[in-house]
Each structure stands twice: as C-alpha cells, then as structure tokens.
C-alpha cells in the first residue's frame, strides 16, 4: 500500500536544475525553511551533463553575471571543477564546468544553506485553494509526500508544477507551437585533439561558422582557448551521410571542452519533432538519443581524425530538453522591448547570450548576435493567473525570440537567485509573489554581488 507522509515548509522548490537549485539555495540563505525535490539522483539538471555555462560575458567581454552564478564557478574552481570564463566569437563566452563536480558542489551548497533535499521523487499533484497553490504532492519509493508551503517555485524545466496548478501557458514557439530539438548529451575520453587540429589545419573550411561575426572562430582560437565549443566538420558529416552512416538531423559535429583535459562533451545528438512534455514522446526521444549516440561513436571512430579510439565516459542522466511550455507571467518579455529592461528598476538579471534558435524540424540553427545584454524583469517570474507560485528556469515568461537567449543556464541561474529572494520575502512579510517590491529583491541581489547594469 502506498503510504502518505505530510510535510510543511516555507518554500517548496520542485526541480533541481540551474533555475530551481539557485532559487532553493537563495531562499534558504534568506532564512526560509526550504525543501528541494528532484526526480533524479543528482542536482544541477543540464549543468550536470558536461555542457559549459553560457552568459557570463557579453560580446565585448564584459562580466554580466555575479552573485550566486559566480559563486558556483569559484567553488567549482577550488574543486578543480571549473577553469574560468573564456571569450568566444560565436557564443560570447563559455564557462566549462565538470558535470559530476557540479552535482557535489550543488549538494554541498544546499546542505550549508539548510535546504532539505528530496531525491528520486517526482511531482504528481498540486492542490489549489482560492487561486493559490497550497500543496504539492510528490511520489517516490512507494510514498506519497504531501508538501504544504507558503510559496512554491517551479524549477522543473517543463513547468510541471505550473501546469498542474492550471497556470496559463503556450506550448512551443509563438504561432507555430514547434519546439526546439532535444539532445542526449554525452562525454567521451580517449581522443587526440592535437591530431584533430592537424586535420582542421589542412581543411580550414571544416570550421563550421561562416558568418561575419564568427571572424576569429578558427584553428588558432581552438588551439589557444582551453574553454571552447567546436562546431564544424560539415564535409565529414556530408561524406558519412552520403555513405548512409549518419542519420542524425544535423549537418555539423559539435563538441564542448570540459575543465578536464581528458573529457569532451558531445552535443551533436538532435531529436526533432518531439514534445518532451508528453511521456511517450519523451521516451521515444530518449530511445532515439541512445541510437544516435551509437551512430555518432561509429562516425567518430571511422571518420574523425584524432577520435578513432574515443570512448564514452558518461551519458547525461536525462534527455536535454530545450523547449516545451512557456508560462504567461505578469510580464511577458518580447523581442520589441527586449532592451527596455537594461539597467531598469524592474530588472532582476542580465542576459548576455545571443538569440540562438535551433530548428525543431530541420538541421538549421538561427543565431542572432546581441551587441549587449538585456534585463529580465521580475514580472517574468510571476505567473499571471496563479498565486503562491514563482517560475524559475526555462519556464519564465518570454517570447520565442527572447527565449532563444534567456534559455541558457547563466541568466537562468541569475533569475533563479532572484526567485529565491522573492520567495523568502513572501514568507517573511506574508505577501504574494506579485506584491514583492522589485527594489527589495534588487537590493539583496546587489548586496550578494549580482550584476544588474552594464
Ligand atoms: C542539449 C542542450 C544543450 C544546451 N546547451 C547549453 C549550453 O551549452 N550552455 C548553456 O548555458 N545552456 C545550454 N542549454 C540550455 C540550458 O541547459 C537549459 O535551458 C537550462 O538547463 C534550463 O534550466 P532549468 O533549471 O529550467 O531546467 P533543467 O536544467 O532541465 O533542470 C530541471 C530539473 O528539474 C527536474 N525535474 C523535472 N521535472 C520534474 C518533476 N516533475 N518533479 C521533480 N523534478 C523534476 C529535472 O530532473 C532537472 O534536474 C542547452 C540545453 C539543451 C537541452
């Protein structure tokens, strides 16, 4: 028989990725009694997959994230799990993080802050009273845990909590509903980068980004920049496709350096035409992800100089989902007014990444360079129709273009820090998220070292 356990917290955060984790740590540091529920056995979400964090520096190399976002990197560096921020002509900056060390540091920071952690539990139900979320039920190990809280934070990525609460949302991209593709990220070892670079030296057109802004995205950059993301090999991919040995709907190969000299993250799997908020489609995507990894390993072994003997070290524990539901907040940031919130008193985080939209139906990627960061207003974190709830992570209320930039981990960590502060203020003052004065959130953010103006 399923047993039922009841718990009471000030703040309940569901989902321990960059958004939820950051909100949980910050709310607890601000004095709230916090529980963080995570369906897997690790904190970090996509930050624990091998991907580098984007958004620390803008296109001019100016620092755009401080506070908790910088603290993660400082603590990782002390544990040999990060090597600083690296400028990039295409991505503005890349901050490599060691996936497993991120899980450990995140856990340590939660423990220090006094966050109660509940692993391997998944949200199953939400109770609403008078338009306000009052309880979230989660399930794990034959146990239903009913969590009452003053404030709930949705850090599930797909917005499972907000969805069950009945918050308004748009599925996929505005107008089309198409969702950016999913990717099963994996890490490899046993490769030989100097040999790979010799191949690129003889085939410079194999550096895949040809646009003007990518000037400098070349072999010298890859050789001299420890933290880089390589995109290219169009010729080899074409050759493998012609031989019937590359079905992945991509025309390029992508790897990302981790802080470790002997581990690369491969971000080349591409699963199109799925809605990962549907469990059957999600499972189909995961299945396809494993099959694509098999094909990519064969591709590297057979076609890519320097990768003939590479081996898998880890496959990310969950399928990386770029896009599913977008919730409607008190404020919905749209592209026309994207820059209105730089240095604005409503802004709680800066986004210094570019507008990067992966096609959900083909191999195309649209990259729109942004010359400077934009601000994310607090209202994007507050769902319009449901009280007692804050959005943290990729569920925040923005249109498809803004989402192309704001979806990356750096700005989501910064916005998550603000969500945690807001949640703690709600508890202290017994007010709703919609009534928290933004100036009070900003004051604490600034005290914590966050960067809110450029
Ligand atoms: C393939 C891929 C490549 C990307 N590349 C980069 C990159 O290089 N750099 C970058 O900065 N950003 C990148 N992004 C974007 C970025 O990783 C995500 O947008 C970001 O991680 C979203 O943060 P989040 O906290 O909302 O969600 P997630 O990171 O997905 O975390 C959500 C967490 O909630 C948990 N969860 C989900 N549902 C439930 C539930 N019902 N109950 C309990 N727990 C739940 C999950 O297990 C997970 O731990 C990439 C995204 C993808 C998919």
How far apart, in Å, are the Cα atoms of 36 and each of 122, 274, 357? 11, 28, 30
Quote the pLDDT of residue 209.
Answer: 84
Mutate to test the pocket of ligand 1, among 16, 26, 156 (most ligand atoms within 8 A of CB): 156
Quote the pLDDT of residue 285.
Answer: 97
Domain(s) labelled CATH 3.50.50.60 in the chain stretch across 3-176+323-447
Cβ distance 392 to 130 under 8 Å?
no
Cβ distance 48 to 319 under 8 Å?
no
Protein residues whose CB sits closer than 6 Å to any atom of ligand 1: 14-20, 37-40, 45-46, 51-54, 122-123, 155-158, 160, 183, 185, 267, 318, 320-322, 393-394, 407-410, 412
Kindly report the CA angle at 418 between 55 and 26, in degrees rounded to 5?
A: 105
> Hey, what are 107's tokens?
């856990």
* CA 303 to ligand 1 centroid distance, Å: 31
Pick from 407, 451, 306, 449: nearest CA to 51: 407
Q: How far apart are CA 90 and CA 441, in angstroms?
A: 33
Quote the pLDDT of residue 364.
Answer: 81
Ligand 1: atom nearest CA of 18 is 25
Residue nearest to atom 51 of ligand 1 (CA): 322
Find residue 330's DSSP bridge partners: none
Provide the 10 A C-beta neighbour count for residue 185.
Answer: 23
Burial class (CB in 10 A: 0-12, 13-18, 19+), 38: buried
Quote the pLDDT of residue 247.
Answer: 94
* CA 271 to ligand 1 centroid distance, Å: 16
Q: What are phi and psi of 372, to 5 degrees?
A: -150, 165
* CA 141 to ligand 1 centroid distance, Å: 24
DSSP 8-class letter at 86: E
Ligand 1: atom nearest CA of 19 is 25
Cβ distance 422 to 381 under 8 Å?
yes
Find residue 171's DSSP bridge partners: 325
Mutate to test the pocket of ligand 1, among 409, 412, 419, 420 (most ligand atoms within 8 A of CB): 409
Give residue 421's region: left, alpha or beta (phi > 0; psi -120 to 50).
Answer: alpha
Residue nearest to atom 15 of ligand 1 (CA): 408
Find residue 137's DSSP bridge partners: 125, 146
Ligand 1: atom nearest CA of 256 is 8
Q: How far apart are CA 351 and CA 58, in angstroms?
A: 8
Residues of the chain with pLDDT under 70: none
Ligand 1: atom nearest CA of 409 is 11
DSSP 8-class letter at 383: B
Ligand 1: atom nearest CA of 17 is 31
Ligand 1: atom nearest CA of 44 is 49
Ligand 1: atom nearest CA of 42 is 49
Mutate to test the pocket of ligand 1, among 14, 42, 45 (most ligand atoms within 8 A of CB): 45
* CA 422 to ligand 1 centroid distance, Å: 22
Domain 3-176+323-447 maps to which CATH number in 3.20.20.70, 3.40.50.2020, 3.40.50.300, 3.50.50.60?
3.50.50.60
- How many CA atoms lie within 13 Å of 233's alpha carbon, on the beta-carbon side? 26
* CA 275 to ligand 1 centroid distance, Å: 15
Ligand 1: atom nearest CA of 321 is 53
pLDDT tens column, 125-169:
999 999 999 999 999 999 999 999 999 999 999 999 999 999 999
Quote the pLDDT of residue 340.
Answer: 86
pTM reported for the whole predicted model: 0.97
Q: What are phi and psi of 144, to 5 degrees?
A: -95, 125
Quote the pLDDT of residue 35.
Answer: 99
Pick from 69, 94, 91: nearest CA to 83: 94
* CA 196 to ligand 1 centroid distance, Å: 30
* CA 46 to ligand 1 centroid distance, Å: 4
Residue nearest to atom 13 of ligand 1 (CA): 408
Quote the pLDDT of residue 339.
Answer: 86
Cβ distance 347 to 375 under 8 Å?
yes
Ligand 1: atom nearest CA of 40 is 47
Burial class (CB in 10 A: 0-12, 13-18, 19+), 147: buried
Pick from 28, 131, 18, 58: nearest CA to 395: 18
* CA 97 to ligand 1 centroid distance, Å: 15
* CA 320 to ligand 1 centroid distance, Å: 6
Torsion of CA 329, 331, 335, 339, to 10 degrees: -140
Find residue 257's DSSP bridge partners: 264
């Amino acid at each position: 028989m399923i047993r039922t356990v009841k718990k009471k917290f000030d703040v309940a955060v569901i989902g321990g990725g960059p958004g939820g984790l950051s909100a949980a740590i910050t709310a607890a540091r601000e004095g709230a009694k916090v529980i963080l529920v995570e369906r897997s056995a690790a904190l970090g979400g996509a930050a624990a997959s091998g991907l580098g964090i984007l958004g620390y520096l803008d296109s001019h190399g100016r620092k755009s994230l401080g506070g908790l976002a910088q603290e993660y990197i400082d603590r990782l560096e002390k544990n040999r799990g990060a090597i600083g921020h690296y400028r990039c002509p295409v991505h503005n900056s890349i901050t490599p993080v060691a996936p497993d060390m991120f899980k450990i540091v995140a856990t340590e920071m939660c423990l220090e802050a006094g966050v109660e952690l509940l692993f391997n539990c998944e949200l199953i139900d939400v109770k609403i009273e008078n338009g306000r979320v009052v309880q979230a039920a989660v399930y794990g190990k034959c146990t239903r845990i009913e969590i009452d809280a003053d404030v709930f934070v949705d850090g599930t990525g797909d917005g499972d909590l907000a969805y069950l609460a009945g918050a308004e949302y748009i599925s996929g991209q505005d107008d089309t509903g198409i969702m950016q593709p999913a990717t099963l990220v994996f890490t490899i070892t046993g490769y030989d980068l100097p040999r790979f670079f010799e191949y690129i030296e003889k085939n410079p057109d194999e550096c895949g980004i040809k646009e003007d802004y990518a000037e400098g995205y070349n072999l010298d950059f890859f050789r001299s920049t420890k933290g880089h993301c390589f995109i290219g090999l169009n010729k080899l991919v074409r050759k493998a496709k012609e031989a019937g040995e590359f079905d992945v709907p991509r025309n390029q190969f992508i790897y990302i350096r981790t802080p470790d000299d002997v581990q690369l993250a491969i971000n080349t799997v591409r699963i199109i035409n799925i809605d990962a908020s549907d469990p059957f489609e999600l499972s189909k995507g995961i299945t396809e992800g494993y099959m694509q990894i098999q094909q990519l390993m064969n591709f590297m072994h057979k076609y890519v100089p320097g990768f003939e003997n590479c081996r898998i070290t880890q496959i990310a524990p969950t399928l990386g989902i770029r896009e599913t539901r977008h919730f409607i907040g008190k404020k919905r940031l749209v592209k026309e007014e994207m820059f209105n919130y730089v240095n604005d008193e409503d802004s709680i985080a800066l986004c210094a990444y570019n507008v990067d939209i992966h096609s959900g139906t083909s191999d195309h990627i649209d990259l729109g360079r942004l010359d400077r960061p934009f601000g994310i207003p607090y209202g994007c974190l507050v769902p319009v129709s449901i009280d007692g709830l804050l959005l943290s992570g990729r569920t925040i209320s923005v249109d498809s273009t803004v989402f192309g930039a704001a979806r990356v981990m750096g700005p989501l960590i910064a916005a998550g820090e603000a969500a945690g502060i807001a949640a703690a203020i709600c508890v202290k003052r017994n007010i709703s998220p919609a009534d928290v004065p933004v100036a009070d959130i900003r004051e604490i953010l600034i005290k914590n070292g966050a960067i809110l103006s450029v």
